[in-house]
Structure 1
Amino acid sequence: MGQPKQTSSVTPLRAMSRAVTFAAFGGLLLSQTAALAQSASQQLATTANSRSTVSQDNTTNAAAAFDDGTDDTATPAANGTTANPDDAAQRPAIPDAQAGDDITGSILDEDIRRLNTREAPIDETLPRRRAAESASTAETPGIPIGTFVLRPSVTQSINTETTKDGSTTQRRAFLETDAAATLTSDWGRHQLTVTSEGAWQRNISGEGEEQPSFKVNGDLRLDLPDDTVAHLTAGYNFYREDTDDPDAIANATQQSDVQEFSAGASVQRDFGILRGTTALALTRSIYSDATLTNGTTVALSDRDQTTGTLRGRVGYELSPALIPFIEATVGRTLYDETRDSAGYERSGHSYGAKAGVEVDLGEKLKGEVGVGYEMANFEDSRLSSIDTATLDASLLWSPIRGTDVNLDLQTSIQPSTTAGESGYVSHALTTTVTHQLRDNLVGTMIGGVTWRDYPTDSTINDELVYTAATGLTWNINRYLDLTSTLGYELTARKEGTDSQQWRAGVGLKLKR
């Protein structure tokens, strides 16, 4: 079955603690960017007034030296225009940096919704030379490396986590080290961006499985002639499956380590009021063995697979702020082993189509909404096909300066490797609110709900996962932040016991 949206089994709550920290940090960068822009505006206005005064004095002296008796009401300037000492004061001020330019929610797309990760719209146009790009990281200067700029950061935190599954309660305290880096080219044309992040955990008390992770992604944008933009992408993602994942191995002390290798290419071209985009993505997934409580291992190599997805979109520009579009997707998944350990053939196809509209009203509202249909089938006749109507939305709203509201709604088909099960439909809604409390203090609140809808012939009952988290980021100085997070997750089941998880942490972030 095709899998256009790759899945990670990291629980939303564990990823959410990082999301609130990074989202709050993004809001903090925004506020300081606006302050820098305002300061630059005032400085330019002051400089302009000074130059105007000097120009007036010089022309007045020249007129006095060569007075021909003519009463001129305006003094010609050196460039042939009329110089007026009030001109500088009448010039429009340079506007402040806009919130919507830099806060895009890319970080939330990668962390909080790792259970159902969204792919970026394939016709998303990146500006050729974004001046705001440097403003988004104006907090730190970075490290110049030739024609590139490296901006690294390291966060060290201490956390506590309590998990309750029925009558069983498990607690642990652990240290977590998060490292991230962004390498961006400074070329006159084209652009290469490489981003990486990783997390390492070590338990210091209690019991609970550690959750290491690491990912690196590269994007080479090629600015071609005739309003054509191409992207070449590649990436690597490592994570460990969580015990609450629907496909997790029961009674395992350590779940499988998953490695994902990805590569892709896309081409976008504008044909007047039409915009056409084609994208191809390939993903290779490799699963390691899981370790049981008795020390034995379970081989999961029958999950190894390769997925290819071809997507196409055509948009019609009614105006720069409103672009309706239609999109089609076809995917193919091939498992390394024709049959898995339970004897099922899980290779298959996926198809999808949707129609929607892109909206860009500046810093106030931007994003897209689409409705459509998606279907997945399998080569094994014993595995029922899965189909569903889809409703997807990704909107960023800024009601007032300093406050950003991100709404994300996603419908996707998630395949299963459980014997006799084909998978389920995931409906995920996430809302993030970031507010600047003070110049150096940003608060973030995140709430979400995910409905795992299994087919009617499935032996597994539907599940509802509720998540909530809040966080604060205090900017101590240019290179150091104090972060704190608090989160809660509830998994409610129609049959069987519910599970709950609480998590809290505090840390220091060093950035350059």
Structure 2
Amino acid sequence: MTTIAQPLIATTIALAGLPTTGWAQGIDASDAPFQLLRGSSGPFVLPPPSSEQIAPFLDPSPMLMNNRDLGSGPLQASSFTNTRRPTTLTNPSVHERVYADLNASAAGSTPTPRRRRSQAIDPYEQLGLMLGGLKLLPAVEADVGYDSNPRRIATGVKGSTLVRTMAELKLQSEWVRHSLTGTLRGSYDAFPGMTDVNRPAGEGRVNLRVDVLRGTQIESEGRYSVTTQQPGNPNLPNGVVNQPITSSFGGTLGLVHTFNRVTVGLYGDVDRSTYGNAKLADGTSLSQDDRNYTQYAVRLRTGYELSAFFTPFIEGRLDKRRYDEHFDSSGYARNSNGIGARIGTAINISGSLTGEVAAGLEHRVYDDPRLADLNGPIGEASLVWTATPLTKLRLRASSTIGETSVVGSSGVIVTQAGAEVEHALRRNLTVTGALAFSNNNYQDVYLRENGMTGSVRLDWKLTRTLAFRASFTHERLDSTSPGSDYTANIFLVGLRLQR
């Protein structure tokens, strides 16, 4: 019986399409040998669709492991059809496994599915707090260091110890419909022994999208910015010894609808800018209320989805700027109306390059006939390039027409550009380098300011909640206004606590 059974079984194996050790054998892509190959320099081996019929697993031969063309993907079921004379299985372990599979199939049993290896979890990733369907990512930071020029002045420079505290909150919704995202930051720099130059800083944006109908959304944004003016600022009178606080806050509300590949959006913007009192050397306080103003704007934007990667658009806007006081301290009526247009494109090359680039022109007309009409470039660029899984490059640039109180000048064209490179030395050790340039070109007067900032920062994540930071920043300003140049170097080390 044994002599008759063995050829019969071998014939059954051949007719069933089972591979033998005499030629290429079927391999389940989830098995350990292919897990090893996934980590090699070859392409990723995709598992076969569930509808494909794969022959029962057999141990792969060394020849298969060495000569397998991974670029062709997994073998299809039809590839296992035997076209050569079958050979006898001589490996005892393989022999037993084949018989076990045949017996299981005959009994009508279903083989136990193999467990797939779970994806790796970053042990240093910030987890956040869940509030319903909203994820909150809070963080606080405390740094101590040294600032070589806290007053940002050209002469009589005196350094000081710097203590900086910072708080941050990020919002991220996880809703099926609608979306809420945002980032809020605030910091305070304290200089022991020089309390008159202590200063706050902050910025934030919160965006809400409401999905009304299919293809129709309501988009809104709230924003704020807090900073300080330096004593050498040309918009401040001579003799100012403090750093007045300036703040901006505003919002946007828009309706967006998509027609096939065309997207049309209508937006309304309101932004408010205020300036704090300046302090003179004799202790006198000087009001800057005449510089406070509000801007109202309406924008129409139309975009066309050229491809999955590029969406070109054109945008037009009308705005007006209204000051709280019709005349400033120099007797100029600085209310103005503006019109502008720009063209650009949104970029979304998944896993590589994302962002938006736009450029255009703006024309402003002022109420005071002594102030010449102002024409200038406007635009914005914000790009993120993932060069490698360990390296990211961020590029930012902008050009705007700003307000000024300089006598005889209609306004200032502000141009900024910067780049930041982030590289992970290890999964918990990151180094970041940044370089930024700025230019303030005051119209109708001979006044130019060129600024440069360079920095390098090291982030060492100790746990999910605790990280060590060290940074160095160099600031420089060159101005055609006498006594406004300065140079400053800032060193900081500290700890970041996050949840």
TM-score bracket, normalised by the shorter chain, equals 0.7 to 0.9
**What are the residue-to-residue correspondences of 1:62-211 with 2, within 5 Å?**
64=103, 67=106, 139-163=125-149, 165-205=153-193, 209-211=197-199
Q: Which secondary structure state, in structure 2, belongs to the residue aligned with residue 302 of structure 1?
A: helix
Structure 2 residue 483 is matched with structure 1 residue 483: no
**Map of 1:247-262 to 2, 5 A cutoff?**
247-262=235-250
Q: How many Å separate the matches in 1 of 2:120 and 2:232?
A: 46
Q: Secondary structure at the match of 1:252?
A: coil
Say whether the 8 Å CA contact 1:433–1:445 is kept in structure 2.
yes
Alignment equivalent of 2:478, drawn from 450, 468, 492? 492
CA contact (8 A) 1:158 1:505 kept: yes
Give 2:16's aligned residue: none
1:472 corresponds in structure 2 to 458
Per the TM alignment, residue 215 of structure 1 is displaced from its structure 2 partner at its CA by: 4.5
* Equivalent residue runs for 1:25-424 within 5 Å: 64=103, 67=106, 139-163=125-149, 165-205=153-193, 209-390=197-378, 392-424=380-412
Q: Does 1:446 align with 2:434?
A: yes
Q: How many angstroms apart in 1 are the aligned matches of 2:135 and 2:357?
A: 35
Q: CA deviation at 1:439?
A: 1.5
* Count of matched residue pairs: 411
2:410 is equivalent to residue 426 of structure 1: no
Change (3 A) 1:256 1:204: closer
Find the aligned partners of 1:66 and 1:281 in 2 and give their Cα distance. 70
> Which of 486, 491, 495 lines up with 1:508 in the alignment?
495
Moved more, 182-191 or 496-505: 182-191
Give the distance between the partners of 2:175 and 2:355, measured in 1 at CA: 28
Distance (Å, rounded) in 2 between the aligned partners of 1:94 and 1:381: 71
* AA of the residue aligned to 1:502: N
Shift of 1:489: 1.6
- Decide which moves more: 341-350 or 193-202: 193-202
Are 1:464 and 1:491, in contact at CA under 8 Å, matched by a contact in 2?
yes
- Per the TM alignment, residue 434 of structure 1 is displaced from its structure 2 partner at its CA by 0.8
Q: Does structure 2 conserve the Cα–Cα contact (< 8 Å) formed by 1:342 and 1:419? A: yes
Partner Cα separation in structure 2 for residue 371 and residue 96 of structure 1? 42
1:320 and 1:340 map into 2 onto residues whose CA distance is 50
Question: What is the CA–CA distance in structure 1 between the aligned matches of 2:173 and 2:379, rounded to whole Å?
Answer: 36
Is the deviation greater in 466-475 or in 493-502?
493-502
Letter matched to residue 227 of structure 2: Y
| Distance (Å, rounded) in 2 between the aligned partners of 1:67 and 1:96 | 39
Describe the SS at the equivalent of 1:254.
Answer: coil
Whole-Å Cα distance in 2 between the matches of residues 66 and 439 of structure 1? 47
The reply to whether residue 436 of structure 1 matches residue 432 of structure 2 is no
C-alpha separation in 1, matches of 2:243 and 2:478: 22
Give the Å deviation of 1:226: 2.4
Q: TM-score, normalised by structure 2?
A: 0.73
RMSD (CA atoms): 3.6
1:387-417: per-residue Cα shift (whole Å, max 9, x none)?
A: 1234543222222221111122221112102
1:17-47 Cα deviation digits (max 9, x unpaired): xxxxxxxxxxxxxxxxxxxxx9xxx9xx9xx
Q: Matched residues in 1 for 2:213 and 2:457: separation?
A: 45
Deviation by residue 1:458-493 (Cα, 9 ceiling, x = unmatched): 1x4222112211111000111101111111122123
1:506–1:355 CA distance, 2 compared to 1 (3 A): same
Aligned residue in 2 for 1:3: none
1:463 and 2:449 correspond: yes
Secondary structure in 2 matching 1:477: coil
Residues 511, 287 of structure 1: alpha-carbon distance in 2 compared, 3 angstrom cutoff: same
The 2-side partners of 1:390 and 1:238 are apart by 23
Say if 1:230 and 1:266, in contact at 8 Å, map to a contact too: yes
Name the CA distance, whole Å, in 1 between partners of 2:314 and 2:135.
Answer: 38
Map Cα deviations across residues 275-318 of structure 1 (whole Å, 9 max, x no partner).
11221110122333211121110011111211112112111222
- 1:329, distance to aligned residue in structure 2 (A): 1.6
Q: Secondary structure in 2 aligned to 1:345?
A: coil
- 1:362, 1:184 → 2: CA distance? 20
Q: Could you tell me whether the CA contact under 8 Å between 2:199 and 2:243 is conserved in 1?
A: no
Asked if the contact 1:386–1:424 (Cα under 8 Å) also holds between the matched residues in 2, the reply is no
Q: Is the 8 A contact 2:340 2:363 kept in 1?
A: yes
3-state SS of 2:180 partner: strand
Q: 1:236 to 1:393 in 2, by over 3 A?
A: closer
> Deviation at 1:380?
0.7
Q: Aligned partners of 1:444, 1:248: CA distance in 2, in Å?
A: 35
Once the 2 structures are TM-superposed, how far is the Cα of residue 375 of structure 1 from its aligned partner?
1.9
- Letter of the aligned partner of 1:505 in structure 2? L
In structure 2, relative to structure 1, the CA distance for the partners of 1:236 and 1:207 (3 Å cut) is closer
Once the 2 structures are TM-superposed, how far is the Cα of residue 96 of structure 1 from its aligned partner?
9.1
Moved more, 386-395 or 461-470: 386-395
Measured in 1, the distance between the counterparts of 2:396 and 2:419 equals 6
Is contact 1:170-1:207 (8 Å) kept? no
How far off is 1:189 after superposition?
2.0
- AA matched with 2:489: W
Structure 1 unaligned blocks of 5 or more: 1-37, 69-74, 78-82, 98-134
Q: Give me the whole-angstrom Cα distance separating, in 1, the residues matched to 2:109 and 2:344.
A: 57
Q: Distance in 2 between matches of 1:303 and 1:239?
A: 15
CA 1:452–1:214 in structure 2 vs 1: closer, same or farther (change >3 Å)? closer
- Are the aligned partners of 1:173 and 1:206 in contact in 2 as well (CA < 8 Å)? no
Post-superposition Cα deviations, 1:181-233, rounded to whole Å, max 9, x if no partner, equal: 12444433223345422112221245761221344543322012121222223
Greater alpha carbon shift after TM alignment, 221-230 vs 199-208:
199-208
